[in-house]
Structures are given as C-alpha cells and as structure tokens.
Structure 1
Amino acid sequence: MAPKSSKGKKGGSADFVKDEQLQAIVLSDSYETRFMPLAMEKPRCLLPLANTPLIEYTLEFLATAGVSEVYVICSSHAKQVEKYLKSSKWNQPTSPFSLSTIASPGSHSVGDVMRELDNKGLIRSDFLLISGDIVCNMDFSKVLEAHKARKNKDRNAIMTMVLREATALHRSRQRNDPGVFILDEESGRCLRYEQAKTTRGHGGGSSLLLDEEILTAHSSVSFRNDLIDCHIDICAPDVPALFQENFDYDDMRADFVRGILTSDILGKTIYAHVVKDKYASRVQSQQTYDSVSKDVVSRYAYPIAPDYNFLDDQCYSYQHGHIYKENEVVLAQSCIIERSTVIGSKTFIGSDTRISGTVIGRRCRIGDNVSLKSSYIWDNVTIEDGVTIDRAIVADGAVVKAGATILPGSIISFGVVVGTGVTIGPNVKVTTKAYENYDPYAEEDDEDSATSDDERGPVAISASDPEIVGPDGIGIVYKEDEEDEGDNVDIDGLVYSMSLADISSAHADSDVDDEAVVDAPHSLHSTSNSRKSRHRRTLSRSSATYSDTLDGSDDEETFLSEAIASIERSINENHTQDVAMLELKTLKMTMNASYEEVREATMAALVAHITKQVNEDSQDVKTATKRLFSAYTPMISKQIFENEEQVDLLHRLQGQCARRPLGPKIFLWAVMELYDRDVLEEDYITEWWEDDESDSTKSLATVKHGLAPWYEWLKNAEEEDSDSDSDDE
C-alpha cells in the first residue's frame, strides 16, 4: 500500500526538539517464534545471556545514552515483564530514567506498537526505538549529535538507523539476513533498503532489483550487505503517525523504511549511522544468542562482560582465560575448567568433569565425569554422572540423568527430565508444555481466575514420550498447537519437530512440512458438496474432535497428506503451475476427493511453507505471503467454481492461520493478494465476515481481528465508488 501524506500533524521531523530530554521505546517482544519453546514460558527479553536477563543489557545502554524517559511495550508475557521491571533497580529512585510499562496484548508487530503509540500521544519529540534484546557498548551521544546535524541540514529527515559494520560471515550477524542497504556515501542517506531474493539453481546466489535512477541521481552510491542491523533507530515524532496512516506497515525495515524510500508522495528521508569501532548486536535467534554470548564472555563487547555485574546481587570475578566465577562455587579438585566459562553462585561441579566454553547458572549440581562443551546451562539444573552435553541449551530446573547425551543444536526446556542413558538430538527441542491453544499475546490471567475452554496458553503435558526422554524422563518434542479450540487431542506419534534453522543448517529429510500433514485432517471446515460421488466426512471446527476425524476417514487423511506433500514438492522444486495442478488433479481423481479437501490441502501447504520461510529463512511475513499466493493464484482460482466457495476458501485459510502465531499476518496479506488478483470478491468476503463461525473461537477471532483495518478500508472504498457512480448518473 502506497504511503499516504501526513497532513496536519504537529511536531513533524523539521521541528527538532528543543527539550533535550530523550524518550526511548523498548520493544520487549520480538514478534517471532525463533526462541520456542523457551519463549512459550518466559519472554525473550528475560532469557539469560551470560546469566543476566537480556533486557538488562538494553536498559544499561539506555542509561549510558542519557535517556530520561523509558516506555517498555509488553506484548507476550506482559505480566512477567512488568513484575520483573517493578522489582528491578530501574524502578528505584536512583534510576537514571523514569520507567513505565505499557501492556499491549493486541500488538502483533512493530507496526501495531507504533499505531498504539500514536493513539496514546506519548511521543513529544524525537525518540529512540530499540528492541529489548540489544547488547551495545557504543557512545550514543555521538550518534545523537550526528542525527541532530543531519536534521538541521535536511528538514525532511525522519529517522536515523544505527548499523554496525561487520563482514557478511561475522558470527554475530543473523544468518540468512537478506538485508541490503543502499547508501549515499557522502551524506549517509539511505536510498533504498532491499531484501535480496535467493535465486534457485545458482549456487544459493541472490538477486536485487533496483531503479536505475538511484545510480544516476547520486554521484557515489554504496551497496552494503556488510552491515549488522542493530535495530536501534532514532525516530521523528511523526513516525508513529505514518504507521497509523498506512495500516499495512508491520515491519520497520521491510515495510516502513522500504515504503518511505519508495514513496513519491511524502518526500521523507532516512539516514544510516554506521558504527565501525564499537559493539552492537541484537539477540534475535539461537545462532545470535550463541555468538553474542561468546562475544560478551570473551570481552569483545567490553566493558560489557560477566564481571560488569549488572544485577545488584551479582559478584562475578574475572580469571585468566576468560573464566568467571561467583561466590560459593564448589569445584572438585579433579575437575577441569577450561577457557570462556562462566559459573554462577552456589553451583557444585564433581570429580573428573571437564567444562569448556560453557555458561552455567546458579544453584546447579553437576556430577562426576561430565563433559560440557559450548553449552548454556541455566539456573537450578541437575546434571548427573557421565553426561555429555555439546552446544545445547538446558533451561531452568531441568534434570539430565546419568549417562545421557545431548547433541548439538538441542534445547532442553524448563523442567524437562532427560532419562538415564538417553540421547537427545541433534537439533531437537524438548518441552514439558504443550503448544496447544498457545497465544503468546493473550492476556495472562491471575492465578485464581478461571480459564476459558479456548484460552490459548501453554499447558502441562498429560504424558511424556518415552521414545524421546526415556521411561524415567519427562517431556515431549516441541510442536505447534494441535487444536485451537482446546479439545483433548491424542498427540502420540504426531509431533512436529521444528528444525533449528538459526543454530544449525540441518533440514528435515522429508519434502513436506510435518506440521501441515498433521494439522490438515482436523482443521476441515464443514460444507456441503454436491460434487461428492460418495459420502466423505467433513469436520466442523466448533464441535468435532480429532479422534472423530480419524474414525472412518483414513482415505481423507491419506489424500490430505499426499496432496500437501505434492504441493510442497511443487514449491520446493519450482514446478510450473501446469505441472502442479496436473499432479493435484490426478491425485484428486485417483482418491475420489472433494474440492473442499483440495482447498484444505492447498491452504495447509501454502501457510505451512510461509511459516517455514519466515522462521528458517528470515523472510518477512508480507513478502513471503504475497510472493507465494501470487504464484499460486492460478491453482487456487481453478479450485473455485461457485461464488459461495470463496467463503469456504476463506474459512479454510483462516483455520490454518489460526493454528500459528504468525497466522493473523499471513491471513491479512493472503486475503489482500487474493482480492487484488480477483480470486475473492467483496460480497463474499463480507459474507465470510458476517458468518458467526469466523469468530467462533478465540484463535479464529484473533485472525479475523487482524484483517479488520483492511476490511474497513474495503467497505469504505466500495461506498465511495458507489457514491461516485451515483453522482455520474
């Protein structure tokens, strides 16, 4: 959507602040799922990095930057964040800034936060926008001075992005980060921001489409893919208003920056401040969690290091070889502590144990003959004799029993018990919480409050998987939610293992997303079908259970699984639409499937593939969704024969999106793309909107709510067209 002009707004970017007090907006949420299942129980900003909660690094940076007023925007796990901050040193009279928290469970993106800020009218001047997972040691006063100087020269400047120079393969750079900044070398003005598109069949290369006028209008242009995006921005006070006026802006870079720089209407400018000799990184994945931890422990981000002792009760001391220990650590005489190791207070380490490059939290008990290598052991963990852990994360309260092995890339989440002699991994995530009905943005209830049947939140598992954790273990492989209505679902054997795309390059052996295969049978939307030549059961989202679906519907389940696999294969192998449609048509005829099932399989495959692209390949939701639905418009349009089937398509797409945290955004962009390409008509979008089933559960309502701004625009645009036609008559 093209940016609209911001008329009548006061406090524009040309009117720079006379009041030197600097405000900061801290985003405590990442609006991603890369830290699952850990972030299912604790927000990313409170996860420990070198035994200090991530948000402490951000707030410490703001204190040194001279910020006087901080607003922390809390989306998921808002009460946990609020509780932590209220008891922190930043809420004391000695704090260098005033601290306020704003619960915003309805915000699912940076764009939502900006729109809420505009509604609340909190921003009085230029402000600092920063994520709650930043580790930075730069002198921000120099950045701010340069920002002011640029604004004095350029009255249209609305933002300065802080970027850090690093090689494309630097360990603290987000893997698969596709961002390319095109800069005017003389002024530092950002001319374009583009996300390089991977080119299939050419050795994993990338391509970039660029307007020729950028090269001709500027004497010196640099294309920078050697910059780490720190997600530290100085914004003008009218930036939130620009998000308000462009409701389809979600991501700060892919939507806002790119939209502003390509707009012929606004004439606004954005600058980049490139840091070369200081440290600034964001912990936005397990890969960057590992790399930034190593940087902090190795003193590469000095003075940021464990012995900086961020928290009042910390007492780390530094020893040769980048070894840090707190008080009351008990080490057996024969244990070996090698370089780059951190050990928290009241931790015991047994005989003949070897620890290298590992961060160990407080009150941990580590037995004899244990090997820990390049791992992260959080607080209150028990590791029994003979255990081997290599490049893994073990969260608070977990137990690893004697003789167990945890291989690289694995995550042992809170409270998991790994059984005796069990081997976990590689790249396996184990949790004690079911992802069933989980909504990271749902408001957290008080302990004594009732919980509704369809409330989305992590729940304790009813049974462990002995094949994963052993007969004496507790835990299951992390999977996405099995049923958004909260039905009791038998999940034995139906697990979805999300690969750790950011900490390992390993990929699933299967061509098809397990999640799509598992989810499809029990997400069917019931609709009558006159084309069925024999009776096939369809499933109502509001009443049937998964076990109902399995009874007597093996053929249906087989078709869905094979159809999803076929579509996924056509995407991965870049088949032409004719080939993809022929394969699906042949499968439909062979198995005598209905068009409802064909549409179900298509939506399941497309939504699952988009989710995988966003989580594993660092693509933004908008780009991934529009690209895939645009490519598959011919296939989708040939699955609709009657107008009423547009409503069925919307229900099926909504049902698939309701199962995923990214679902509301995928649904918005998918519907917009299908509408723009004349697959969906307004009358039938309205019919779906007014159907009670479209918001019959909380998860469906969440997806529907995400479409509300666009739907309102659609209705208003249609009314304006009608009025115009009436005037012409």
Structure 2
Amino acid sequence: MVAKKGNRGGVGGEDAEEELTRVPLQAILLADSFATLFRPITLERPKVLLPLVNAPMIDYTLAWLESAGVEEVFVFCCAHSKQVIDYLENSKWFGQPNFSVTTIESYNATSAGDALRLIYERHVIRGDFILVTGDTVSNMSLTQALKEHKERRRKDSNAVMTMVIKQSKPSPITRQSRLGTEELFMAIDPNTKQLLYYEDKADTLKGTVSLDKALLIDNSSISLHNDKQDCYIDICCPEVLSLFTDNFLTISTYVVTFQGLLVDDIMGYKIFTQEIHSSYAARIDNYRSYDTVSKDIIQRWTYPLVPDVQFFGNCVTKLERQGTYRASDIGLSRSAKIGPFTVIGSGTTIGNYTEVSNSVIGEGCIIGSNVSIDGCYIWDKVTIEDGCKLKHAIVCDGVIMKSGAVLEAGVVLSFKVIIGQQFGVPAYSKVSLFQQPVKQDSDEELEYADNSSGNIEIASISNTPEKLEEDLTELSDSQIQAASEVGNGGAGFIWSISNEDGNTLPPSGELEPGSVNDSDEDVRDDFAHFEKEVEATFLRAVTKTSKKTMLSYNLTSSDCAGALFYGMMKLALDTPHGSSGELVKNVASVIAKWKKLLKYYLPSLDEEIEVILKFEEMCLESTKEYSSLFVQVLHLLYDKDILQEDAILNWASEKEEADESDKLFLKQAEKFIQWLNEASEEE
C-alpha cells in the first residue's frame, strides 16, 4: 500500500458551513477501453487487468486515487465485466477504511458517453468527481487542481470541468516520454486557462489548424499549443453527467464529446486546463505507450508506484544495480546475464548462458539455456525453451516457445499460443488462438470475447509434441490451420496486419504504433524510425560531402536535436579508432564539421538539456563505448559552444533530485560541474 496520503477532499481552507456539508471526494473509473488497439490480447482479458511491470494496470490507477485523497470510486465495467468484478472482489481494494470501491456493470455501453449516462441514472455522484480511465498511471497531487477548480466554480457556475494536461515532449524533470498518440492541438486563454479549442486529429501533414473567427473575436488573447498532452484526468462537476443524457446520442470518447462542447458552445459550459510540471501522468492506450510507461516505472519516474514499493496488486521486488529488480525466490543460473532495467518476477527460473536486458519477466516463467531476450514483456507462466531469441515482443500468459523459436521485432503472442520448434514469427505479427474477426463490429462486441464462438477450442491442441500427431487426426480444419501457421507443434493464428485499423508495430524494433493508411503514409508517430531516418540522412550528407541537408519531419526541435546528435556520435564511433583518446578526437572532428547544423536545432536550453539526456541514454544502451568518456565529451560540447553553461548546470540540478541509480553520469561529472559553478560565481 502506498503510504503517502493527500488531504481528504484535496482542498484546504473550506469554511465551516462547507465542511459540515462536505461530501466524500468521488471518482469514476472507466474499466473498459472502448477500443480495439490491444487486440488480440483484449479478446480474452480486459485491458485494465493486463500486467504493467507485473501488476494489473487498474491497481496503479486505484493506488493513485487512494493516495490522492479520493474516498469513493465507482468502477464502470462492460467488456469482460465478470473478470474485472471478480478481480476487485478478491483483491485488497474491497474493505479498505476511508476508501470504497464499487463496481457498476453494463453489457450495453459501447462508449464512455454511454457509461456516464448510466452512472447519471444511478444517482451515485453527489459532488465534484474525478473522471479517469483504468489504464492511467500518475503520482500527481490533486490538492491544487481541486482547489482551483472549486474557486472557478464559485465565480462561474458554467465552469464544469478541469482537464489535466502536461508537456508532451520529454521533460528534463520527469523524463516522461512520447506516448505515440496523435498530435493534439489546443487553444488556451493564457490568462484564465480556459480551453477554447481541442483537436486530437489535426492535419499534421499540412501542419495547419482552422479556428472559427468568432473564437478570435471573443477572446483578446489566445495561446495555441501542439506541445501539450491530455493526461485523461479530469475534475468534473455533477452537471457533466447530465450533459451526456441531455445533449448526446452517440459518443465515442468523452474527450470527443467535450470537443463538441467547445465547438458548439452548448449552454455556455466552460472547460479549463490545469498543467502539471513535476508530476507524472500518462494513459496507456497503444503498444507504444505500454512500452514507454513500463520503462518510466522501471526508471522510477512514477514513484512511489514502482516495483520495490508495496501497493495493492504488486509483488515487491528488490532494486539492484543498474535499475534491475528481482524477486527473492527466482532461480538464476550463474552463467546467465541480467542486463540493466530488467524486472524478474517471483518463481521464475533462468537457464545457463541466457541473456536478458531491458525486459520485464513475470511470475512462474521457465526460461531455458542460451536464450536471448531483449526489450520484451514476458507475462506469467511462460515457457521459453533452449536457444530461443526474442526482441521487442509481448508474450502473454501461458505461451510456450519451443526450442530454437525466434520472435522478430514487434511480435505480440496472445494467451497460450504455442510457437513450434525452430519457427520464426515474422516481425510485427500478432498471433492468437482466436481467428481474426472478419466483421468490423462495435468495439464492445469485438473485445467481449464469446467463448461459445468455437475459436477458443483451438486451445485443446496438445502442448506436447509426442501427442501432436495423434491429436491432429481429431482436429477441425481451423485447428489444423492454426497449428500449421506457427510451426511444428505450434498452435495459433497469425493475424493479418492490413486489417488492423493502423494498429501495427512498425519496423523500428520498438513497441510503437504505425500507420497503414495510404493517405497518411508520410506521417510517422514512430520516433525510433524517425531517428534512424535522421541518421541515414546525416550519413548521406557526409558521404556526399554536402554542405546542406534538410530534415523534413513534423517533430519538435528537441526531437531533431537528439536524433541528429545520435547520428553524429554514431559516425564518430564508426570511424576507425584504436583508443579512447582517438574516439574523442573523432567526436571533436565530427562536431567541428557539423556544429552549425546541430546548433540550428538548439534554439533554447530545453533542447540542449535534451542532448545531454540523449547522450546519457546512448551511454547506457546503444553506444556503451562512450560511457567512460561522458565527462570528456560533455566538456568538449561545452568548449565548442554546443552546450551552454546554464544547460549543463540545469541538467545537474535536476539530476540531484533523481534516484541514486540515475546519477551515474552526474557523479562522473562532479568536478566539471564544480568548476562551472565556481566560474559562474566568479563572473
């Protein structure tokens, strides 16, 4: 349980009369995603119960609500509602003092709007409430946001909602990364913080936004942003629920609904924003954000919701060097190598000469010898036999990978799939015991798996090769097809990517969503792919001795600076060198030649800090040869006027607040930082 508590109700300074009539702070938690982005996994289990660093997603949301001072939570369940209700009833969330969890079940809701209308009809919400989805991870305090929301309500009864937002680009303070969502445009009154325009499907190809003239006439000052992230945490007054009943028939998400409110100005209701800076908040709504948030949890940006701190639903693991977490009862061979930023759950065994890095491994897994696992999410009770190779994949509960099987980058294996011996699963494939749905039905129908459909019978295929030939004589055509699709002794259907509504794992080797829409080919949310493209563009410019090169991407300066810096450092590393000293000379030569280009993408201190953070990341992951040269290169960047003194000192100051495990390079640079501080004082 998270020990830290917020003030009950979250607002201080209430007068005596209000205190006497105060109702408990309530929350509505939507436990249905009303989407299909996690198929085929969510055909069998609701997204809120999927493991996130070995704890169900919903536990992170409930732990945050409890610690932030919420006293009553209403969990709305639709698809797989029985699984959610059974989990909560058997968890420690039921029966907690000063924190009640109540489930509301419906089989008919197909959107968040439907859910809120049904909750309105129950008459359970008695005051201001928090609206949040069950796939949200946050450690923010609600105190200030609630206080400002209530003050606005006192002055203006039409102020119905406060939307929590934050910077969408990586922050030097929280280091929260890009979540792979579509580019969001907001128009905000800089004085009142009122939200005037919200568009999450803007035409990023043209980079333009069309604002109504009336909006410009009625507001003397407007600030337009494409660098904000909707945290999907909203403080609402009770009237919000009635809006769904009175004004809307079909609503896909509550955000789209409120966007309609902004455009149509229905009844004069207003939405305001509350920007957070030093706290963490993110929603997991695609594979990229699942990967990003998992890494943020492991790197402790979500503290106290981290693997080594007890909160309901998680099994505590011990934090070791280089961000590695291990349960106390794992079976680990002496010759096995466990790399940085890896979590290993209880009861898991790992064989001889197996290498695991940047991965999460669940409970009760059996991993054989000479296995390679890099950047993967292995859930519970998975068996991986000798000689298998896995890279940037999600492997669900009960999967069996037979000896020598290979998962190429971006593969998703759903529950109890069996991959045959020596079989290679093609990159970005999704494999399930369910056949891919032919119809594009409603989200709820697609996620609400019907075990009577017949597809689930494929699970009866024998898990032992000795029985396979005998079993095949009794299998249906679809079962034989499933076995043949994933190799000898396998079981599972490989889904077609082309019918996945753009929800593919792109050719970057990372768990990120791409696009298969022909009209949107050039728009890439995939930062890793962008980074590789920048590197390739830079190298082409080098080989052609061109004095000019153009990087035409719709991304921020910090994105370009980080990617370009990576390309430059990679060029220096790939240039022949026999010692560390020669490598530093290579770096100096590359920087001298391409300094002007890099400086173009460093308009402010934020971008310079991002370069330092990028260099830290490179030293830990992709270009570890630089790890012992961090200070020399940092000093070189300072001497060559790439990095200003303030950027380095600000980076150092922010790192002081980080955990000890994240201060490796700060400690290396202590003398250099001290020298800069002394020089600054002398000036």
* Range class of TM-score, shorter chain: 0.5 to 0.7
- Work out whether residues 22 and 69 of structure 1, in 8 Å CA contact, stay in contact via their aligned partners in 2: yes
Residue 57 of structure 2 aligns with which residue?
A: 54
| Corresponding letter in the other structure for 1:244 | T
Partner of 1:97: 99
Q: CA deviation at 1:122?
A: 2.0
CA distance in 2, matches of 1:297, 1:220: 41
Give identity over the alignment, percent.
Answer: 36
Deviation of the 1:249 alpha carbon: 4.7
Report if the CA contact (8 A) 1:364-1:380 is conserved.
yes
Residue of 167, 190, 193 corresponding to 1:188: 193
Name the residue aligned to 1:3: none
CA deviation after TM superposition for structure 1 residue 478, in Å? 2.9
2:146 maps to 1:144: yes
Question: Is residue 189–residue 221 contact of structure 2 (8 Å, CA) maintained in 1?
Answer: yes
- Following superposition of structure 1 onto structure 2, how do residues 420-435 of structure 1 map, counting pairs within 5 Å? 420-435=421-436
Give 1:73's aligned amino acid. F
Q: Which amino acid aligns with 2:80?
A: H
**Residue aligned with 1:181, SS:** strand
2:41 alignment partner in structure 1: 38
Contact 1:173/1:228 (<8 A) preserved: no
Match of residue 473, structure 1, among 490, 508, 520: 490
Give the corresponding residue for 1:4.
none
Aligned to 1:304: 305
**Aligned runs of 1:483-562 on 2, under 5 Å?**
498=500, 501=503, 503-504=505-506
Distance 1:496 1:432, change over 3 A: farther
1:403 CA displacement: 1.0
After superposition, the Cα gap between the structure-2 partners of 1:101 and 1:443, relative to the gap in structure 1 and judged at 3 Å, is: farther
User: How many Å separate the matches in 2 of 1:472 and 1:145?
Assistant: 61
Give TM-score scaled by structure 1 length.
Answer: 0.61
Alpha-carbon spacing, 1:180–1:428, altered in 2? closer, same or farther (3 Å):
same
- Other-structure match for 1:379: 380
What is the distance in 1 between the residues matched to 2:363 and 2:51? 11
Contact 1:397-1:416 at 8 Å conserved across structures: yes
For structure 1, the 5+ residue unaligned runs are 1-14, 480-494, 508-512, 515-567, 574-729
Distance 1:313 1:131, change over 3 A: closer
Deviation at 1:127, TM superposition (A): 1.2
2:372 counterpart of 1:355? no
Number of equivalenced pairs: 476
Shift of 1:458: 5.6
Aligned to 2:260: 259
State the Cα distance separating 1:146 from its structure 2 match. 1.6
Asked if the contact 1:79/1:444 (under 8 Å) is kept, the reply is no
Cα pair distance change 1:137/1:456, threshold 3 Å: farther
Tell me what 1:365 maps to.
Answer: 366
Contact 1:464–1:473 under 8 Å retained in 2 = no
d(CA) in 1 for partners of 2:77 and 2:97? 20
> What is the one-letter code of the residue matched to 2:485?
I
Q: How far 1:409 moved relative to its partner?
A: 1.1
Instruction: Tell me the residue number matched to 2:240.
Output: 239
For residue 198 of structure 1, the aligned residue among 165, 180, 203 is 203
After superposition, give the CA deviation of every residue in 1:451-510 in whole Å (9 maximum; x if it has no partner).
87xx6986646334455310211111136xxxxxxxxxxxxxxx9663873642689xxx
Aligned: 1:72 with 2:75: yes
Q: Distance in 2 between matches of 1:288 and 1:27?
A: 18
Q: Is the 1:404–1:422 Cα contact (8 Å) retained in structure 2? A: yes
- Residue 85 of structure 2 corresponds to 82
Give the distance between the partners of 2:457 and 2:152, measured in 1 at CA: 51
Q: Residue in 2 aligned with 1:123?
A: 125
Distance apart, 1:214 and its partner CA: 2.7
The separation in 1 between residues aligned to 2:229 and 2:457, in whole angstroms, is 37
The reply on whether 1:24 has 2:14 as its aligned counterpart is no
Query: AA paired with 1:177?
Result: E
Alignment of 1:497-646 (within 5 A): 498=500, 501=503, 503-504=505-506
- 1: CA distance between counterparts of 2:167 and 2:360? 27
Match of 1:166 in 2: 168
Contact 1:67 1:97 in 2 (8 A): yes
**1:314, CA displacement in angstroms?**
1.8
Which amino acid in 2 is paired with 1:105?
Answer: Y
* CA displacement, residues 287-308 of structure 1 (integer Å, 9 cap, x when unaligned): 1000000000011222221112
Return the letter of the residue paired with 2:103: T
Please give the residue correspondences for 1:699-718 in structure 2 after superposition, counting only pairs within 5 Å.
none
Instruction: Name 1:228's counterpart in structure 2.
Output: 229
Show structure 2 runs of 5+ residues with no match: 1-16, 459-477, 510-514, 522-683
How far apart are 1:434 and its partner, in Å? 2.7
Residue 662 of structure 2: aligned partner: none
1:206 counterpart SS class: coil
Residues of 2 paired with 1:193 and 1:444: CA distance?
Answer: 28
Distance 2:278 2:314 in 1: 31
Distance 1:79 1:496 in 2: 32
Where does residue 315 of structure 2 map in the other structure? 314
Q: Distance in 2 between matches of 1:296 and 1:440?
A: 29
Contact 2:185 2:202 in 1 (8 A): no
Distance 1:457 1:145, change over 3 A: farther
Distance 1:457 1:184, change over 3 A: farther
407 and 313 in structure 1: CA distance in 2 versus 1, 3 angstrom threshold = closer
CA drift at 1:60: 0.4
Q: For 1:683-722, what aligned pairs fall within 5 Å after superposition? A: none
Q: 3-state DSSP class of the match of 1:433?
A: coil
Distance 1:343 1:171 in 2: 23
Give the structure 2 partner of residue 549 of structure 1. none
**Pairwise CA distance, 1:265:** 4.6
Q: Secondary structure at the match of 1:277?
A: coil
Mean CA deviation greater in 281-290 or 438-447? 438-447
In 2, the alpha carbon distance for the partners of 1:45 and 1:445 equals 14
Q: Quote the Cα distance in structure 2 between the aligned partners of 1:106 and 1:456.
A: 23
Q: Give the secondary structure class of the aligned counterpart of 2:27.
A: strand
How many Å apart are 1:309 and its aligned residue? 2.8
* Structure 1 stretch displaced more, 149-158 or 102-111: 149-158
Amino acid aligned to 1:113: A
CA distance in 2 between counterparts of 1:197 and 1:26 reads 28
Question: Does the aligned pair in 2 maintain the 1:196–1:207 contact within 8 Å?
Answer: no
Greater Cα offset, 247-256 or 391-400: 247-256
- Residues 613-671 of structure 1 show CA distances to partners (whole Å, capped at 9, x for unaligned) of xxxxxxxxxxxxxxxxxxxxxxxxxxxxxxxxxxxxxxxxxxxxxxxxxxxxxxxxxxx
Any conservation in 2 of the 1:16–1:125 contact (CA below 8 Å)? no
With over 3 angstroms needed to count, the CA separation of the structure-2 counterparts of 1:282 and 1:459, relative to structure 1, is farther
Contact 1:128 1:235 in 2 (8 A): yes
In structure 2, what is the Cα distance between the partners aligned to 1:403 and 1:444?
Answer: 33
The alignment yields a C-alpha RMSD, in angstroms, of 3.1
For 2:493, give the aligned amino acid: I
Secondary structure of the residue aligned to 1:255 is helix
Closer, same or farther: CA 222–457 of 1 in aligned 2, 3 Å: farther
Q: Give a deviation string over 1:40-66, Cα, whole Å, max 9, x none.
A: 100000000000000000000110121
Alpha-carbon distance in structure 1 between the residues aligned to 2:449 and 2:301? 42
Q: Is the 8 A contact 2:370 2:387 kept in 1?
A: yes
Task: Provide closer, same or farther for how the CA distance between residues 251 and 393 of structure 1 changes in structure 2, counting only shifts above 3 A.
Answer: same
Closer, same or farther: CA 313–43 of 1 in aligned 2, 3 Å? closer
CA distance in 2, matches of 1:358, 1:56: 21
Aligned partners of 1:113 and 1:181: how far apart in 2?
Answer: 26
